[in-house]
Amino acid sequence: MKRLQDFTVGDTFEAFREVDSYRPIYYAAASGDFNPIHIDPQVGRAAGYSGAILQGMCTFSWLSDACVAYLGDPARLRRIRARFTKPVQVGDVIRFQGRCVALDGPRIALELEATNQRGEEVLKGAVAEGHLGEG
Amino acid sequence: MPIDRKHLGRRYGPYRFTVGPEQIRDFASATGGGVPGRVFSVAPERAHPWTWDEAAAAASPHGGLVAPPTFAAAFAIQPFANACADPELGVNVLRLVHAEQSFELEAPVRPGDVLETEGEITRIQDRGSLDFLEVTTETRNQRGERVVRGVWTAIIRN
């Protein structure tokens, strides 16, 4: 596992996730969020979208996963927040980018971005904090 | 119609959730590029191995599986979901979108944990064509340790 001395202000990391056609259903099964807007394209259209939209919390999980991959341990992530600014739909490919902006002892601060294949931000104001303890 | 501000402070829960290893692995699968479940399931190669691979997790400093941090969405969402569906508030869920989310994570979630989540409406705001509804949740485990505090914000288009 990465240790404290392996982290530097200015580090960057990146992750990609594709919304395959069953992803909102898989996420519904695992999270319990079966809101029809996420699994029924007709309901999605009735709500003004072009079809079913991915659960925001799935996108948020991908953001968290990008941080966890960088931090090296799921338990190191201590805070995460973001605003959902654009719906994510089947077929979208989301690019997550992160940067270490501060290190204070074991405390680490990250700034994050998430954009779709058209370069549109699907999350804004995304930030996270970690604690680089062992275990 | 705007949500009546008299509902500020309205509370939901506690809701109990008992964590099983299958739930943790299914969540890791669904969010890590795999397929959850026991039928044609696929391992989540993009998820952190300590969240789904028993052998890797056993050899980790945690000695066993830990949940992905956002597994909180599976249990801590309940007060927020119940507020959004509360007939007293009269929210049209077709006009509702999840607008903002934050988690403060204090203790990792492990298989066997018994979690209790309570929530409270902490903000109701009418901004013309948009209504904001915010629910703050707190989850504790069977030892009374705070596991996660969540702030869940919805926007309802009027």
Q: List, for residues A68-127, the tens digit of each pLDDT value.
A: 999 999 999 999 999 999 999 999 999 999 999 999 999 999 999 999 999 999 999 999
- pTM for this prediction: 0.97
Q: What does the pLDDT read at residue A87?
A: 95
Mutation site for A-interface testing, chosen from B38, B77, B100 by largest number of A Cβ within 10 Å: B100
Q: What does the pLDDT read at residue B116?
A: 98
Name every residue whose Cβ is closer than 8 Å to that of residue B78 and which is 6 or more positions away in sequence. Answer: B12, B13, B15, B17, B117, B119
Question: Is the predicted pLDDT of residue A134 greater than 70, yes or no?
Answer: no
Q: Number of A:B CB contacts under 8 A?
A: 124
Which of A1, A32, A65 has its CB closest to that of B31? A65
Average pLDDT, chain A: 95
Contact B105 A78 (CB under 8 A): yes
User: Contacts of residue A81 in chain B, CB cutoff 8 Å?
Assistant: 100-103, 151
Q: What does the pLDDT read at residue B78?
A: 97
- Residue ranges covered by each domain of chain A: 4-130
Residues of chain B with CATH 3.10.129.10: 1-19+67-158
Which of A17, A84, A134 has its CB closest to that of B99? A84
Mutation site for A-interface testing, chosen from B23, B35, B66, B98 by largest number of A Cβ within 10 Å: B98
**Measured between CA atoms, how close is A23 to chain B, in angstroms?**
7
Architecture of the domain whose range is A4-130? Roll (3.10)
Closest-approach residue (CA) in chain B for A46? B94
**CATH topology assigned to domain B1-19+67-158:** Thiol Ester Dehydrase; Chain A (3.10.129)
**Measured between CA atoms, how close is A68 to chain B, in angstroms?**
7
Question: Is the predicted pLDDT of residue B1 greater than 80, yes or no?
Answer: no
**Measured between CA atoms, how close is B95 to chain A, in angstroms?**
7
Q: Which residues pair with A14 in a beta bridge?
A: A97
Q: What does the pLDDT read at residue A1?
A: 85
ipTM of the complex model: 0.96
> What is the DSSP annotation of B76-142?
TTHHHHHHHT-TTTT--GGGEEEEEEEEEE-S---TT-EEEEEEEEEEEEEETTEEEEEEEEEEE-T
Q: Helix A23-31 and helix A56-71: axis angle, to 10°?
A: 80
Q: Give me B7's structure tokens.
A: 């509902």
Instruction: Answer yes or no: are the C-beta atoms of B131 and B158 closer than 8 Å.
Output: yes
